[in-house]
Structure 1
Amino acid sequence: MSADTRLEEPAFSGLAERHRRELHVHCYRMLGSFEDAEDTVQETFLRAWRRRETFQGRSTLRAWLYRIATNACLDRLARQRPEPATGGEVPWLQPYPDRLLDELPAGDADEPETVTVARETIELAYLVAVQHLAPRPRAVLILRDVLGWPAKEVAELLGDSVNSVNSALQRARAGMREHLPAERQDWTGGEKDTATRELVRRYTEASVATDIPAIAAMLRADVRCSMPPTPGLQVGRDAVVNEWIESGFEDMTGLRAVPAAVNRQPAVAYYHRQRPEDPYLPLTLDVLRVTGGAIAEITTFHADQFPRLGLPSQLPSDGTE
């Protein structure tokens, strides 16, 4: 497409639509919210259609759309969240289902480093750390370290100098080191290894049985637990266990669990019923970060996330007490 090309809307939409999922993931990394990313991609396509005659063909359509999407994200952040997250919590954080991540272009399977970057930069711990950066350094970090853009192209996008971009990248990387888990290089994350699957199975069974001692034995001493958008971050096994005890979790009955996968991490969806004859209704979703054979982090999301994740709206009653 060039400046002289007059594409009708269906043709233009067809070309742009090929990049929808990767643009959505890019906006998700920038914003931390699935819903905000969805709105921003729509805004990106609207801006692209309005400005289609300005596309000169000096870059690919994909790169042009990424430029528009990044600026749309920065505009949204300026309106909604000009200040970054603080204190390790991101109240607006939402999960991203693996079934949608599977729609991303496969990339180069012969480049294991590229595959690793794509996986680790979609995990929740990375998303949380990114949200603690100011918007422009955040954009620089994602464009340079995740997408692999040259500093010159990032500078052109942001209307900045290469030196400024390089300086912002150094600050962003330093900020990430402050907020990322120290053992990040040892993450098992989305790897489907036997040990991780067995740990998740035991965690699921113990959770349905509300067996707090059994769950506690699977937690790292420095485990972190949060439930966005509900405020409150528990750090340390004792703090997490005490919170469960105080909430009355031990006395809960009528639970069932369904395995799930979000953000390339293992997850467990819980359903609850009041009476034996009732169906099981969505309750919460636990997303786990596993490292060193133990659970390092539990991020719990509310039942309103179930439809997006493709989880059942209810489970039938089994009639048992």
Structure 2
Amino acid sequence: MTIVTDEHAFRGMVQPHLRELHVHCYRMLGSVDDADDLLQETLVAAWRGIDGFAGRSSLRTWLYRIATNLCLNAIRNGRRRPPIAPTPPFEPPEPTRAMDTPWLQPYPDAQEDPASHVVSQETMRLAFVAALQTLPPRQTAALLLGDVLGYSAAEVAEILDVRPTVVKGLLQRARASMTRTQPGPRATTEYDEEVARQFAEAFSRDDVDAVVALLSDDAWLTMPPATHEYLGRAAVDGFLRTSARWRDGRYLVLRPTTANGQPAFGCYLASGDTAEATGILVLTIEQGQVTGITRFLAPHLPQRFGLPAELSRSPRAGSW
């Protein structure tokens, strides 16, 4: 095998795999920011170790081995931690429970290749990614490598440096856990988009009655990295009304986008003629009802979706 000694040639070799490696790191860690870091660490490790790559496996498999094991090390070393939870600017209602995965972040659909099986919609949905975070790390890795990426048990065993019988056990336990927690796969429909539009209009007007009318009975609201989770219409209703009272004349402006194959919006808090980014809101919609609202409280996230950090209202049109 020809040894690559030129950095430009190395980048040319790995370029076709960068998107899927980034998605893999995201699924492993649940955070797009952490996925950025781990992808860079993967490339550095691959560049430093290229002389030892003897071609016994494909370049893609070799890169996945590096990325997977770096992600596992990051999780073991406690790097998969959320940012410091924001202090609420008002006294919120008592939450129903604490969120299990406050480090969770949304993934911009624009970064995906819709034709690739490694970024298929059902394995990018927030509920799937969040459920992965609750598995023991090696189970997460085995499930992603075997069931999502299609590697054989022998290949997964080689990547994880374990026996194939160990992989079989990891997969069995991971599949059982995911089956208990995950609904069947589904795609976003035009009807979902209409529900999302109605939600955005009502949410921007602080019309809590109209928002709650779109919710299922068991709908939930989370706000990573805050750990508060509100379950059920009444709990969500109570939080939204408290939040609206605190804004006291200020209001939210939403800009449509998509995240994890789901309807989403960039969130901005308007005051006067400017509106500053506050994060990304992602909707989970099932059978014409909103079943989940995940409002990510991170002002930098809208820019990851190609949205501005600040909006200005047109004096002439009076619109954003």
The alignment's TM-score, normalised by the length of structure 2, stands at 0.87
| Preserved contact between residue 139 and residue 170 of structure 2 (Cα < 8 Å) | yes
- Percent identity between the two aligned chains: 41
| Preserved contact between residue 4 and residue 10 of structure 2 (Cα < 8 Å) | no
1:51 is aligned to: 49
Query: Shift of residue 241 of structure 1?
Result: 0.9
Give secondary structure in 1 for the equivalent of 2:184.
Answer: helix
What is the distance in 2 between the residues matched to 1:225 and 1:91?
Answer: 13
Query: Shift of residue 268 of structure 1?
Result: 1.7
| Pair 1:198-2:197 in alignment | no
| Pair 1:262-2:262 in alignment | no
Give secondary structure in 1 for the equivalent of 2:8.
Answer: helix
**What is the Cα-based RMSD across aligned positions, in Å?**
2.2
| Pair 1:167-2:169 in alignment | yes
Q: Which runs of 5+ in 2 are unaligned?
A: 82-96
Aligned match of 1:95 in 106, 115, 121? Answer: 106
What is the distance in 2 between the residues matched to 1:31 and 1:129?
Answer: 11
Deviates more, 1:216-225 or 1:74-83: 74-83
What is the distance in 1 between the residues matched to 2:249 and 2:15?
Answer: 46
Give secondary structure in 1 for the equivalent of 2:309.
Answer: coil
Give secondary structure in 1 for the equivalent of 2:311.
Answer: coil
1:251-290 superposed matches below 5 A = 251-275=248-272, 278-290=273-285
2:204 is aligned to: 208
| Preserved contact between residue 88 and residue 128 of structure 1 (Cα < 8 Å) | no
Q: Count residues in correspondence.
A: 300
| Preserved contact between residue 285 and residue 300 of structure 1 (Cα < 8 Å) | yes
Query: Shift of residue 11 of structure 1?
Result: 0.6
| Preserved contact between residue 255 and residue 270 of structure 1 (Cα < 8 Å) | yes
1:231 is aligned to: 227
Q: Name the amino acid aligned to 1:185.
A: G
Query: Shift of residue 177 of structure 1?
Result: 2.8
Which runs of 4 or more aligned residues in structure 1 lie more than 4 Å from their structure 2 counterparts after TM superposition?
Answer: 249-252
Query: Shift of residue 256 of structure 1?
Result: 2.3
Using a 3 Å threshold, how does the CA distance of structure 1 residues 289 and 82 change in structure 2: closer, same or farther?
closer
Using a 3 Å threshold, how does the CA distance of structure 1 residues 310 and 81 change in structure 2: closer, same or farther?
same
What is the distance in 2 between the residues matched to 1:81 and 1:205?
Answer: 38
Give secondary structure in 2 for the equivalent of 1:51.
Answer: helix
Using a 3 Å threshold, how does the CA distance of structure 1 residues 5 and 285 change in structure 2: closer, same or farther?
closer
| Preserved contact between residue 258 and residue 270 of structure 1 (Cα < 8 Å) | yes
What is the distance in 2 between the residues matched to 1:176 and 1:147?
Answer: 16
Using a 3 Å threshold, how does the CA distance of structure 1 residues 215 and 82 change in structure 2: closer, same or farther?
closer
2:293 is aligned to: 298
Query: Shift of residue 217 of structure 1?
Result: 0.8
Query: Shift of residue 82 of structure 1?
Result: 8.1
The alignment's TM-score, normalised by the length of structure 1, stands at 0.87
